[in-house]
Chain A
Amino acid sequence: MKQSGRIVWLFILFSLIPAQVFAQAYCALRDPASHIQQLYPDSNQFRSIVKTVDESARDFVAKNMPPNALHFGELGRHTLYVALRDKDILGLVHVRSEESRWGLVEIAWSMDLGLKVQDYSFQRCRSRVRKVMEANSVKDQFRGKNFAEMKTFLAADGRSANRDTLNVPDNAAELAAVVVRNGLKTLLVTRQVWSMEIEALQMLKNARSAFPAAEQIQLAEQTPASPAVAVALNSAFGNASIGTDRAQIKLARVLDHQGNALGVIYRAKHTISGEPLTLWWAIRTDLTIEAINADTPWPSSQVESVFKQLTGKTFDNSESCGNRAELMALEAIITARPLLKNTERRLTM
């Protein structure tokens, strides 16, 4: 009985320690393997990325979609799944739960790396109108939507489905609201908690697309901010802006399976024809352009053609550049150059 007393004191002591834990015993945790297969029929493997959904994520949700909040079961350690076909990254899957009058509804959402919805699958739903929300005519309304676009499905009260923008039968309106809230929360939480990992995955996907021998990438720190790069850019462009947001630039060195550098991936947010456009530049070790890909459709086929013509070219100075696309290429090369000289390993994926 003495030991029992000690346990009770221990119990009281530890109960005062705040922490994010998962209420359910971990032996009950199961990966949504069958749902990943349904959402990505071509997948043959997935990769887990476990991180903590904490108060900052709760605040982020409360700020962006009031009056909704994360309930206690949504906090703690959660998993983002990367669906894979061998080495190809097919997309992301995240499961969120939502309170409803039928109990917790758990939905597995598939998203591309730009956090647009690709599909969803009910992992658990006790509602009898579940089949209605599983119909392609309903799912098609969600597919391809980002957070802002899907938020139009939410009515002004922040809880109900907006029947003007989301076409669902009357008897499914309540479950539709659950799906909309759950989807919006999924996009917000995924962006807030896993942004760095998604960025790295985007880098890896672009690296493998441009360099077939690519095995891994090394994410660079804020290389564009380094004094040497700043001096080189200033020397090339002076104070003139060519439409690249230098604060948003990300870089990664691309390596083959032996660790040899194949080139660099340079991601930059440009303004082209007055529209924002994120481009992924693949630059070979000899500083020639290997490929340029856009996150979203090109503003026009003409713009696309101008950029695609940069493939195989390199630029030393602004005098050798004949248009703004070539100036952007020069900026990319100047920024990427130190990474190809510097073999220091920083962040490997």
Chain B
Amino acid sequence: MRLTMDTLSAPLTACRLSALMLLFSYAPLSLADGTLTPGGSLGENMRMSLDLSSRITHFDRADETGYTNAAGLDLHKVFSGTDGDIGTLTVQLYWTRIDNLIMRPGFFDGPDDSELVYRIVNFNYTGLGTQAPHFRVGHFEIPYGLEHTVDTNGNLRDYTHGRNLGVKADWGVSVNGELPALEYEVSYTLGGGQEAERKEGSYVWAGRLGTPRDNNQVYGVALYHAELKNTERNRLGLDAMWYYDLYGLFAQLDIGEDADNDVLNGIVELNWRNPQETWLLFLQNQYFSTDRSDGDQQALRHNLGVQYTPDSHWDFSAQYQHDSDVFDGAAEARILSLQARYRF
């Protein structure tokens, strides 16, 4: 199967990816005979999990409760030759059902809907060597800010890609790499979000250059330029993560413009883990501001969350979201979310 930008129309892609996953799921998963044959069994160098999650979201102001149930496949396969790895395929495809979800991602048609959701679906070609650039094609997170270094897919904990950039993950291509002193990724994507197509001339350029994410101090600088829904967005983003024992302090500052309106956004997160890292507590403050023609607008959102991972199967999390200030005309949200997730 060839994954090209021309052929990635959503329904067709879904069928092809499903076939691909079925193929992988029936391949042997272990190397019981010790075979190290290049181009050996499809199950070689593969990880695969089925991932189920159920989320309850209570909208306090509206006094409504919504439900999100997702069942999906999480697959990671490294293609190797005798003389090195060639590339990595990552497929996270989730059938997602929402019921009475009054605030939801835009790709759902209404508060009650089902969709096949692509979280991450891409192939990263690494065959040129460790110090050479890698080339990614598919659906991936926009390389920008904290989101680029912290995995939030399928979790309640999230950053501001959606509201700040207008898109969290998108179909396209990227050049990326990792060197001892820095890591980088520069991408061009279509701006369709879930759908592999340009919408009204949409496109997204993004790139982040950062110090290694495993360090105790991590710094990144990112640029973003996009045309989405006939609105041009530009951002310069600075992000930092500082770790001190069991605590982490994360920050992100975004300066730019939406059309001709200046924008200044920011995030500060304080988090704590226990020594076994089964518990994660976090407190986020998110700030949004823009100078619209009808006056300066400011919004302030606070997220308090907890995540408990008792073993390699279960993941329980809760989050309370509170808006203390919103743009004119918007309603302040008070949202309590609970989620259980099981991987097997």
Residues on A lying within 8 angstroms of B by beta carbon are 1, 3-4, 7-8, 10-11, 14-15, 17, 19-31, 33-34, 36-38, 43-52, 71-73, 75-77, 79, 84, 86-87, 99-104, 106, 123-128, 130, 196-197, 199-200, 215-216, 219, 347-349
Given the known interface contacts A14-B50, A33-B130, A50-B47, the answer about A103 and B78 at a Cβ–Cβ threshold of 8 Å is: no
Partner of B180, one of A28, A38, A79, A348: A38
**Contact string, B187-207, partner A, CB cutoff 8 A, digits 1/0?**
000000000000000000000
Given the known interface contacts A7-B54, A7-B71, the answer about A45 and B151 at a Cβ–Cβ threshold of 8 Å is: no
Given the known interface contacts A22-B312, A23-B312, A37-B130, the answer about A3 and B97 at a Cβ–Cβ threshold of 8 Å is: yes
Interface of A, helix, strand, loop or mixed by DSSP: mixed
| Min C-beta distance of A43 to chain B, whole Å | 7
Partner of A15, one of B75, B99, B342: B342
Asked if B322 CB lies within 8 Å of chain A CBs, one says no
Surface stretch bound by A, among B14-22, B79-87, B297-305, B324-332: B79-87
**In whole angstroms, how far apart are the Cα atoms of A19 and B114 in the complex?**
29
Q: Which 7 A-B pairs have the closest CB atoms?
A: A196-B34, A45-B84, A28-B151, A26-B76, A7-B69, A27-B120, A23-B312
Whether B130 contacts A44 by the Cβ 8 Å rule is yes
Whether A3 contacts B311 by the Cβ 8 Å rule is no
Whether B311 contacts A48 by the Cβ 8 Å rule is no
Q: Which residues of B contact A10 (CB under 8 A)?
A: 52, 71
9 further interface pairs, Cβ-Cβ under 8 Å (given A26-B75, A126-B245): A3-B97, A20-B312, A21-B312, A25-B153, A26-B76, A48-B78, A104-B277, A125-B216, A199-B34
> With contacts defined as CB atoms under 8 Å apart, how many contacts are there between chain A and chain B in the complex?
183
**In whole angstroms, how far apart are the Cα atoms of A33 and B182 in the complex?**
11
Partner of B151, one of A25, A79, A197: A25
Residues on B lying within 8 angstroms of A by beta carbon are 30-31, 33-37, 44-47, 49-52, 54, 67, 69, 71, 74-76, 78, 80-85, 90, 92, 97, 99, 114, 119-120, 129-131, 141, 151, 153-154, 178-180, 183, 212-214, 216, 243-246, 273-277, 309, 311-313, 315, 340, 342-344
Whether B52 contacts A27 by the Cβ 8 Å rule is no
* Interface CB pairs A-B, < 8 A, 18: A4-B67, A7-B97, A11-B340, A15-B344, A20-B312, A21-B312, A27-B74, A37-B131, A49-B45, A50-B46, A51-B31, A79-B78, A102-B246, A103-B275, A126-B245, A347-B33, A347-B35, A349-B37
Whether B47 contacts A33 by the Cβ 8 Å rule is no
**In whole angstroms, how far apart are the Cα atoms of A288 and B203 in the complex?**
66
Given the known interface contacts A14-B50, A37-B179, A51-B31, the answer about A23 and B313 at a Cβ–Cβ threshold of 8 Å is: yes
Whether A11 contacts B36 by the Cβ 8 Å rule is no
| Min C-beta distance of B91 to chain A, whole Å | 9
| Min C-beta distance of A87 to chain B, whole Å | 5
**In whole angstroms, how far apart are the Cα atoms of A216 and B39 in the complex?**
13
Partner of B275, one of A100, A123, A347: A100
Whether A44 contacts B129 by the Cβ 8 Å rule is yes
| Min C-beta distance of A28 to chain B, whole Å | 4
Q: Which residues of A contact B74 (CB under 8 A)?
A: 25-27
Whether B130 contacts A126 by the Cβ 8 Å rule is no
Residue of B nearest to A84 (CB): B84
Q: Which residues of A contact B343 (CB under 8 A)?
A: 21-23
Q: Which residues of A contact B340 (CB under 8 A)?
A: 11
Q: Which residues of B contact A51 (CB under 8 A)?
A: 30-31
**In whole angstroms, how far apart are the Cα atoms of A236 and B33 in the complex?**
33
Given the known interface contacts A22-B49, A27-B90, A76-B312, the answer about A8 and B344 at a Cβ–Cβ threshold of 8 Å is: no
Q: Which residues of B contact A17 (CB under 8 A)?
A: 344
Most chain B CB within 10 A, of A47, A72, A130, is at A47
| Min C-beta distance of B117 to chain A, whole Å | 13
Whether A99 contacts B275 by the Cβ 8 Å rule is yes
Whether B130 contacts A46 by the Cβ 8 Å rule is yes
Residue of B nearest to A16 (CB): B344
Residue of B nearest to A7 (CB): B69
Given the known interface contacts A14-B50, A50-B47, A347-B34, the answer about A21 and B151 at a Cβ–Cβ threshold of 8 Å is: no
| Min C-beta distance of A321 to chain B, whole Å | 34
Residue of B nearest to A15 (CB): B342
Whether A126 contacts B246 by the Cβ 8 Å rule is yes
Most chain A CB within 10 A, of B36, B90, B179, B244, is at B36
Q: Which residues of A contact B309 (CB under 8 A)?
A: 23
Q: Which residues of A contact B245 (CB under 8 A)?
A: 102-103, 126-128
Q: Which residues of A contact B84 (CB under 8 A)?
A: 45-47, 84
